A and B are shown apart, each in its own frame.
Chain A
Amino acid sequence: MSTRGRRTRQARDARRDDIRRALLLSIEQLAAEGLPFADITVDRVASRAGISRAKFYVYFHDMADVLQAWFEAVTEELSQTTEPWFRMAPASSKEDLRTALETMQAAFRTHAVLLGALHDTALHDPDVRAGYRSFIQRQIDALTDHIERGQRDGFIASLPARETAEWLAVMAERMQREMATGAAPEMLEQHLDAFTEIVWRTLYAAR
């Protein structure tokens, strides 16, 4: 490709990113104003973002396309926030666990609106669904690895590693979605405490 061709493509990609950012912000705003996800249409979002419907379709196929692009960008970030937990070592305390889970909770809360939109889109879009499930599966795999390593090193209890990881993941995912729409900010500390106790007692302080 010529230098000019490459520059044109770069400029186009940058423009696409700008528009996507504006669209995502608009989705968050509309959701914050109480609009149900089903009503967050291309027309409404594009209008709020200050671009024409036609311009939207230059860069994106549909809303799922916007969300999917965002999701790919953010899954890396979200995966990193689960690492402090999965890197917990034999000498770690309950406080260490709580801190690790707090990081995770904060990150997921930051993206709660878009994660909710993604989850809803996944219900009717198989591609988005596959991407979302794949992300969840990667977290379950990482937690399973952590449990198995901990069992080998003697600081995690004898229990079915993969199945336990699946239950803890389904609990965390569902609670995260519920809290995004329901929980008052002052409840967050209590939720974090409850989550910490369940994980601590099950994995690290079991009898």
Chain B
Amino acid sequence: MPSAASQSRLTGKLLPALQRLLVGQATFTELTIGHLMAEAGMSRRTFYVYFEDKAAFIREVAGLALDDALTSCESLWSLPGGASKAEVRAAICEMADGYAPHRSLMRAVSETATYDAGVREAYLDRLTYASDRMEKQILEGQRAGDMDAGIDAATTAVWLSTMLAAGFADLDAMADPETRAAHLDAVANIVWQTMFRGPE
């Protein structure tokens, strides 16, 4: 019976292999278990000792990665209304840094969520959590008079949280140090103009 420790060791080798293989246009859906295991330096058979299929593997690892990525969102969620552009950018940068190690896995999660209910649930669970935190933040800001009452807290939170999650995973430019800065400027601006710049 494979132990949790040995499964963890396997995962530890699989994730970097996944990272190396999921570059550019390559999709997780097209990636074969044989290819993944070869990249990780292991036999295909070993995969099946621990996991029934690719979706089962993603289901196993998605939660931890999602939760880890979420911890780096705390600085954004704790910014008050009236926070400066620089403060918002710093918080977004922290989110991006927290997200970066999980990028390949997040893309795999995103893909698998389209056909696996378990993965979809894990993803939506965390997205809902992130949206709820942002919604609370907006409501507090509106109550304090720091944030514009003209935006709907709940729906705006869903749009912005979805934008951040989708962009960090799908925008290849975020993975490239040269293009990253301009992309962080752009998204920090969108968030600041929408949430933080204050009432009219």
Binding site for B on A (CB under 8 A): 36-38, 119-120, 123-124, 126, 129, 133, 159-160, 163-164, 166-168, 170-171, 173-175, 178, 187, 190-191, 193-195, 197-198, 201-202, 206-207
**Is there contact, CB below 8 Å, between A123 and B30?**
yes
Smallest CB–CB gap between B73 and chain A, Å?
Answer: 17
- Chain A residues lying within 8 Å of B150, measured Cβ to Cβ, are 197
- Chain B residues lying within 8 Å of A201, measured Cβ to Cβ, are 193-194, 197
Besides A164-B189, A166-B167, A166-B186, 11 more A-B contacts (Cβ < 8 Å) are A120-B115, A163-B186, A166-B171, A167-B187, A171-B167, A174-B166, A187-B155, A197-B194, A198-B159, A201-B197, A202-B190
24 residue pairs of the A-B complex, CB under 8 angstroms, read A123-B111, A126-B25, A133-B25, A160-B182, A160-B189, A163-B173, A163-B183, A166-B171, A167-B167, A170-B166, A170-B167, A171-B159, A171-B166, A174-B163, A191-B159, A194-B151, A194-B156, A195-B159, A197-B156, A197-B194, A201-B197, A206-B189, A206-B193, A207-B193
**Is there contact, CB below 8 Å, between B29 and A207?**
no
Complex: how many Å from CA A171 to CA B167? 7
**Is there contact, CB below 8 Å, between B197 and A207?**
yes
Partner of A190, one of B155, B167, B170: B155
**Is there contact, CB below 8 Å, between B159 and A175?**
yes
Partner of B190, one of A164, A173, A174, A193: A164
Contact string against A for B residues 13-35, beta-carbon threshold 8 Å, 1 for contact and 0 otherwise: 00000000000010111100000
Complex: how many Å from CA A123 to CA B165? 19
Flag whether B160 is at the interface (Cβ < 8 A).
Answer: yes
Among A124, A193, A195, A201, chain B packs the most CB atoms within 10 A around the CB of: A201
Would you list which residues of chain B between 146 and 196 have a CB under 8 Å from chain A? 150-152, 155-156, 158-160, 162-163, 165-167, 170-171, 173, 182-183, 185-187, 189-190, 193-194
Flag whether B3 is at the interface (Cβ < 8 A).
Answer: no
- Per DSSP, are chain A's interface residues mostly helix, strand or loop, or mixed? helix
CB-nearest residue of chain B relative to A193?
B152
How many B residues touch the partner, as a band? 20 to 34
Smallest CB–CB gap between B121 and chain A, Å?
Answer: 13
**Is there contact, CB below 8 Å, between B186 and A160?**
yes
- Chain A residues lying within 8 Å of B189, measured Cβ to Cβ, are 159-160, 164, 202, 206
Flag whether B114 is at the interface (Cβ < 8 A).
Answer: yes
- Chain B residues lying within 8 Å of A202, measured Cβ to Cβ, are 189-190, 193-194
CB-nearest residue of chain A relative to B112?
A123
**Is there contact, CB below 8 Å, between B151 and A197?**
yes
Instruction: Check A123/B29 contact, CB under 8 A, given A37-B115, A166-B183, A168-B190.
Output: yes
Complex: how many Å from CA A168 to CA B160? 10
Instruction: Check A163/B185 contact, CB under 8 A, given A194-B152, A206-B193.
Output: yes
**Is there contact, CB below 8 Å, between A124 and B170?**
no
Complex: how many Å from CA A175 to CA B160? 10
Among B166, B167, B173, chain A packs the most CB atoms within 10 A around the CB of: B166
- Chain B residues lying within 8 Å of A36, measured Cβ to Cβ, are 115
The 5 A-B pairs with the shortest beta carbon distances in the complex, nearest first, are A171-B163, A163-B186, A123-B29, A174-B166, A194-B155
CB-nearest residue of chain A relative to B167?
A170
Complex: how many Å from CA A197 to CA B30? 38
Complex: how many Å from CA A203 to CA B193? 9
Smallest CB–CB gap between A196 and chain B, Å?
Answer: 10
Complex: how many Å from CA A77 to CA B186? 29
- Chain B residues lying within 8 Å of A173, measured Cβ to Cβ, are 166
- Chain A residues lying within 8 Å of B160, measured Cβ to Cβ, are 171, 198
**Is there contact, CB below 8 Å, between A160 and B155?**
no
**Is there contact, CB below 8 Å, between A129 and B197?**
no
Would you list which residues of chain B between 28 and 74 have a CB under 8 Å from chain A? 28-30
**Is there contact, CB below 8 Å, between A167 and B197?**
no
